[in-house]
Amino acid sequence: MSKQTFVITPKNYSRPLEALGEHAAVLASGEVGSELFLKQGSRGSTSSRYRRPSESVPTKTFSKAIHRLKEDVRSWYELHRRNGATNVVVWAIYLELLLMLVLLVLLPFDTVQVGGRYRLIKPLNFTMSMAMYLATVVILLDYLRASMWWKKVIGWGVSICILTAITCITMQAARGTTSHFNNSTPFDSAVSSLMDIVDPLNGVFVLVLLIFAIQVRYDVSRSSQLGIAFGLFLFLAGSAIGGVMVAQGQSVVGVAPGGPGLPVLNWSTTGGDFRVAHFLGIHALQILPIAGWLIDRLKGLPRRAKPTAVVAVSAGYVLLMGFVFMQAMNGAPLVRM
């Protein structure tokens, strides 16, 4: 039997070091990910079909911001899941949202007006505002470095105060009358007095949160810590403006209550209205901590300058709040119509 000779013809394969050099150059250029390098490195392929199209700088920046936001939310959720002290506040949020849904369904059928607007608008506005406030308290308690006892006391205290207030507001709206500054009957006076008690009591719990912020007891960055502190302080200032309204028995200055007002908000368009400054103070608790969080994530801002930027933003907010307060004191509306 004759022997046959087999000849292996060499093909044009890349040598290992050459392939490695090609992939290192491609990886350094940023055109291909490291996972593709690991997958294709041994084959020496740098074909254009493996290259991603270049992205614009704004798109990359936005993508990174979204990615970091997702990471922060995921981190907070894991922290919240392990923290059982805020469960009662979460249930209070569910009740607020459920009531808000019911009011939204009933609003188109509302035909009764109280104080120049449909009666269900006021409790609807308050459910949204209170749900935001309670959600803020949940996040603050999750990041607070304090004992479970303190967290439960604050959580239960805030939840009871807020649920009591929204119950009074909704009940009075259903009866077709006002909830604040109403002394027309003994019952109405009792409801108004109850609200005048729970509002300052809620402020006591916020004051405790502020004391913790001054002691740097929140497990967040320095910029976020400052945003939380200023937000809590201005929340208390907004609550104090609410006390001014209670003391004078109405929210407007220079005009009679129940006059023309802005749509939905009902802020007076003919005279001064303390509710504008009150609104800014109450929602500083969301605005300034978010501002601190955003400033902390600005890549182009030096690390030492970030706390200063938070202080500057907070100072501007204080000036705005002081301006609208003095405007109300002088009987001038925010918007004259």
According to the model, what pLDDT value does residue 117 have? 85
Q: How many alpha carbons lie under 13 Å from residue 136 in its C-beta half-sphere?
A: 23
Q: By percentage, how much of the chain surpasses pLDDT 90?
A: 61
Side-chain-side CA neighbours of 219 within 13 Å: the count stands at: 12
C-alpha–C-alpha distance, residues 252 and 27, integer Å: 66
Q: Which helix (H) or strand (E) holds 118?
A: strand 117-118
Q: Yes or no: say if 227 and 308 are a contact pair by the CB < 8 Å rule.
A: no
279 to 38, 53, 75, 251, 282: CA distances (angstroms)? 56, 47, 31, 12, 5
pLDDT at 116: 78
Per-residue pLDDT band at 52 (split at 50, 70, 90): low
Decide if 325 contacts 241 (C-beta within 8 A).
Answer: yes
pLDDT confidence of residue 42: 43
CA atoms of 293 and 332, how far apart (whole Å):
35
Q: What pLDDT, in 10s, does the model give residues 67-99?
A: 666 776 777 667 667 777 788 999 999 999 999
Predicted confidence (pLDDT) per residue in 290-315, tens digit: 999 999 988 888 989 999 999 999 99
pLDDT of 202-231, one tens digit each? 999 999 999 999 999 999 999 999 999 999
pLDDT at position 32 over 60? no
What integer pLDDT is reported at residue 221 of this predicted model? 92
Cα distances (Å, whole numbers) of residue 100 to 19, 65, 124: 64, 32, 6
Q: pLDDT tier at 65 (50, 70, 90 boundaries)?
A: low
Residue type, 307: P
The reported pTM is 0.77
CA dihedral for 216, 234, 236, 116, sign (positive or negative): negative
CB of 310 within 8 A of CB of 295? Answer: yes
Please give the average per-residue pLDDT across 108-131, as a whole number: 92
pLDDT value of residue 47: 47
What separation in angstroms does the CA of 329 have from each of 262, 263, 297? Answer: 18, 22, 39
pLDDT of residue 40: 47
pLDDT (average), residues 319-336 = 94
| Alpha-carbon distances, residue 185 vs 166, 178, 181, 325 (angstroms) | 20, 12, 11, 31
pLDDT value of position 296: 92
pLDDT tens readout for residues 225-265: 999 999 999 999 999 999 999 888 888 998 988 788 888 88
Alpha-carbon distance of 146 to 143, in angstroms, equals 9
User: What is the pLDDT, as a whole number, of residue 230?
Assistant: 97
The overall average pLDDT reported for the chain is: 83
Would you place residue 140 in the very low, low, confident or very high pLDDT band (cuts 50, 70, 90)? very high
What type of residue is 215? Q
pLDDT at 19: 43
Task: Assign 194 a pLDDT band (cuts: 50, 70, 90).
Answer: very high
Q: Of residues 75 and 102, which shows the higher confidence score?
A: 102
Of the two residues 76 and 281, the one the predictor is more confident about is 281
Q: Are the beta carbons of 227 and 290 closer than 8 angstroms? A: yes
Cα separation, 311 vs 239, in Å, equals 21
Instruction: State residue 171's pLDDT score.
Output: 96
pLDDT at residue 30 greater than cutoff 60: no
Residue 43 scores a pLDDT above 50 = no
| Helix, strand counts (H, E) of the chain | 10, 4
Q: Predicted confidence band at 158 (pLDDT cuts at 50, 70, 90)?
A: very high
Q: What is the pLDDT of residue 14?
A: 46
**pLDDT bucket at 57, cuts 50 / 70 / 90:** low
